[in-house]
Amino acid sequence: MRHMIDTAKIESAFRQILEAIGEDPDREGVANTPRRVARMYEEIFSGMQMDPRELLDVSFTEYHDELILVKDIPVYSMCEHHFLPFYGWAHVAYIPKGGKVVGISKLARVVEAYARRPQLQERLTSQIADCIFQTLKPNGAGVIIQAEHMCMTMRGVKKPGSMTVTSAVRGIFETRAETRAELFALIQK
């Protein structure tokens, strides 16, 4: 899964993009832009170099078998269709089984690891839920992401403020309507 980001290739390609839109790539204001874009891509696509499951390897035993929810985790990603950002909040929940819990910061790190790659919001939501469900093996996992997509705000239909909401539920959140309802009610608060 480890991919190295080729910053030299990004610099070269971005220089070509500047030329293709009619910009002088040697003009003072943009002369260093290809290098800046390459460094930025190295940062915002750092999730390409990670296996988010490894973030959940460190768990501990605490006999808590009720819902654990981390709300309002900021999420920033790049839509793979137009390479424009989408951003918003992720809400991540799970119900531990057998006392296996994980530090809550690890859940935010899983969100970030999957978000820092070219993405679709729907896939991002499912990847986070699957990672938690398959790695921690809890009774249930649920992820809700609400985000604004710049491809809808800056171009196309030009509808700023439009929020896309996606959810992925696994285990007991999928099979028990009352448990799913509890999750959504807690997120609404």
Distance CA 81, CA 31 (A): 27
Cβ atoms of 37 and 11 closer than 8 Å: yes
Tell me which long-range contacts 177-181 makes (C-beta under 8 A, separation of at least 24): 179/67, 179/95, 179/140, 180/142
Using a 10 angstrom Cβ sphere, with 0-12 exposed, 13-18 middle and 19 or more buried, the burial of residue 130 is middle
Buried b / exposed e across 151-185, counting CB within 10 Å, b at 16+? Answer: ebbeeeeeeeeeeeebbbbbbbbbeeeebbebbee
One-letter identity of residue 186:
L
Look at the block and give the residue holding tokens 């920033």.
76
Residue whose C-alpha is closest to residue 135's, from 91, 96, 166: 96
Cβ atoms of 159 and 130 closer than 8 Å: no
The catalytic residue positions are 79-82, 121, 149, 151
